[in-house]
Amino acid sequence: MTRHDPLGSLEDMLRYAQDALEIAEGWPLEAQEADRWRTFALVHCVELIGEAASRVPATFRESHPGIPFGEAIGMRNRLIHAYDSIDMAVVWAVVRNELPPLVAALREILEGRRD
């Protein structure tokens, strides 16, 4: 199994969460069917957050219970394996409600590691 740098994976999670928030900015859920490329980009960002989360070692995940690693990984798995039944309202709720606190928590960890 390939070992990944936990801080690099956290940075990836942060970058993709910020990208997802930028994509969703000012874009109502009702408009998602009319803009498939933007929808694909948003879903892909959420997938990548989960993929990066899965690369963080379990010991690090366990020592940072405020980061929803398990939920991010589960969401990624659902989006990848049940791609034909994605509920955009759920994705939308995750982006709008879960990503802002995730971004804040990741920034706090990363800033603390850089000091």
Per-residue pLDDT of the chain (115 residues; tens, 9 = 90+): 456 788 999 999 999 999 999 999 988 888 877 889 999 999 999 999 999 999 999 999 999 999 999 999 999 999 999 999 999 999 999 999 999 999 999 999 999 876 5
Catalytic residue among 36, 55, 64, 76: 76
User: Of 33, 31, 19, 17, which Cα lies nearest the Cα of 100?
Assistant: 17
Q: Residues 52, 6: contact at Cβ < 8 Å?
A: no
| Domain locations along the chain | 6-110
Q: 36, 55, 64, 81: which one is catalytic?
A: 81
Question: Does residue 3 carry a catalytic annotation?
Answer: no
Residue 73 DSSP SS3: helix
pLDDT of 2: 53
Which of 8, 2, 107, 6 has the alpha carbon at shortest distance from 56? 6
Q: What is the pLDDT of residue 113?
A: 79
Instruction: Determine contact, residues 45/17, Cβ cutoff 8 Å.
Output: yes
Q: Is 81 a catalytic residue?
A: yes
Which residues does 19 contact at the CB level (< 8 Å), separation at least 6? Answer: 41, 45
